[in-house]
Amino acid sequence: MTRCPSAEQLAELASGLAGGDARDALAAHVEGCPQCSTQLAALAATWEQLDAWQVAEPRSGLAAEFRLLLDAEPQTPVAAARRAEVPWRLWLAIAAALALVAVLPAVYFNGNGATLALAAGKIEVRDSVGDAWRPASLVTGGQSVRTIGAATLHAPDGSRVELQSGNISRLDPSGTGERLHLFVEAGRAEFDVAPDARAFVVETTAGQVRVVGTYFGVEASAARPDLLVAWVQRGKVEVSNDRGTTVLEAGQCCCCARRAGPAEQRFEPGGLVFVRNEHHPTVAFLARVHSTSPQGVRVTVRGQPQDLPYDRVFVRPLKQGLPVQVSVRTGQPLRPATLIRVIDNKVQVRLPDGVHRVEPEAVHIEVDSK
């Protein structure tokens, strides 16, 4: 090759994509051409620099989670399912009718149809009158179950309950083949509810979670019986207590206290929450939720992730016109302002000198955070 190669050819050579005869010809030219040699060396160095960008591994357990999601997928290929598609209004009507059917048996039946069979691990059970725990492979209505290590239980409809070590739950006798009702006294439990299950109700002292066809978890603490933590991985659940009801969707989490409605305690990735100042309980700043877990909320504070327990974080609806204190730039003193809206990850506020967009962390709000 006598003519200098094109920039594209040099880039191919630098990135190792040139092959065979073309590569040899290019290399031969470059060897005798100082200009091309310099350019190739710079491109090759850039290509190597890119190796510095490594990303972390996927989270552990992703394959197991995927298997659960895959198991919940219908067998029918989507294309075939689409052919059989019916208008959404009809589905809505069918869903409403099914919901009614699912609720009615709970009202009119009071049998002992609820059972959970041990699928993995060890459990002990005791009935409502006995005081001794005994090994078991089946839990029936009215019995309490205690796990030794982690255990998995199967419901007749294919739903699965994963109980954390030390979990104590009670299978309510009012549960029937149509409806399972589990009361979690202490510990964490995760539920993979079959899509065609009629209804599944999980209750703790602090509230209730009702679900059809989803993957979710519930944790109740013996030390804090007023708190219920529910998180949803797939599908939807409805969380309720005597102060209200909220629907959680995939990725959302709720730390539900008895004294407040669940909607006020719903966390979701990307959502804004208040983080209570440790030293000044009535002062809070806004932060963005990164992720949620049974242990608490990960928020982004000044660009850094920070894990906070649920008692440091709370959600309130943000209302336009809310009086706030903001520091427009880092280090500047707080100034009174009013909230306008959230846009592009920033909070828009009105100050005497005009409208400003500030970082959520710069907005301080004096609230009764109790």
**Residues engaged in binding another protein (CB under 8 A):** 7-8, 10-12, 14-15, 17, 38, 41-50, 52-59, 62-63, 65-67, 69-71, 73, 75, 77-79, 251, 268-272, 288-291, 300, 303-305, 317-320, 339, 341-345
Q: Which is nearer to another protein, 58 or 333 (CB)?
A: 58
DSSP assignments along 80-147, one per residue = HHHHT---HHHHHHHHHHHHHHHHHHHHH---S--EEEEEEEEEEEE-SS----EEESEEETT-EEEE
Distance in Å, CB of 89 to another protein, minimum: 24
What separation in angstroms does the CA of 202 have from each of 7, 144, 189, 220, 323?
65, 14, 10, 11, 40
Cα–Cα distance for residue pair 183/46, rounded to 1 Å = 60
Q: Which is nearer to another protein, 179 or 288 (CB)?
A: 288
Would you give the DSSP letter of residue 180?
A: E
Distance in Å, CB of 198 to another protein, minimum: 25
Distance in Å, CB of 37 to another protein, minimum: 8
What is the pairing mode between strands 138-140 and 115-126?
Answer: antiparallel
Instruction: Give the CA angle between residues 170, 172, 178 to the nearest 5°.
Output: 130
CB 196 within 8 A of CB 171: no
Q: Which is nearer to another protein, 102 or 367 (CB)?
A: 367
Distance in Å, CB of 27 to another protein, minimum: 16
Q: Which is nearer to another protein, 89 or 319 (CB)?
A: 319
Cα–Cα distance for residue pair 297/315, rounded to 1 Å = 12
Distance in Å, CB of 359 to another protein, minimum: 11
- Is the alpha carbon torsion for 259, 261, 264, 269 positive or negative? positive
Instruction: Give the CA angle between residues 289, 305, 332 to the nearest 5°.
Output: 90
Distance in Å, CB of 209 to another protein, minimum: 22
Distance in Å, CB of 138 to another protein, minimum: 28
Distance in Å, CB of 14 to another protein, minimum: 7
Q: Which is nearer to another protein, 23 or 290 (CB)?
A: 290
Cα–Cα distance for residue pair 301/317, rounded to 1 Å = 20
Instruction: Give the CA angle between residues 189, 183, 190 to the nearest 5°.
Output: 15
Q: Which two tokens stand for residue 226?
A: 């007023």
Backbone angles phi, psi at 263, to 5 degrees: -60, -30
Cα–Cα distance for residue pair 176/181, rounded to 1 Å = 8
Distance in Å, CB of 274 to another protein, minimum: 13
Cα-Cα-Cα-Cα torsion 113, 249, 322, 320, nearest 10 degrees, comes to -120
Q: Which is nearer to another protein, 201 or 275 (CB)?
A: 275
Q: Which is nearer to another protein, 71 or 311 (CB)?
A: 71
Q: Which is nearer to another protein, 17 or 100 (CB)?
A: 17
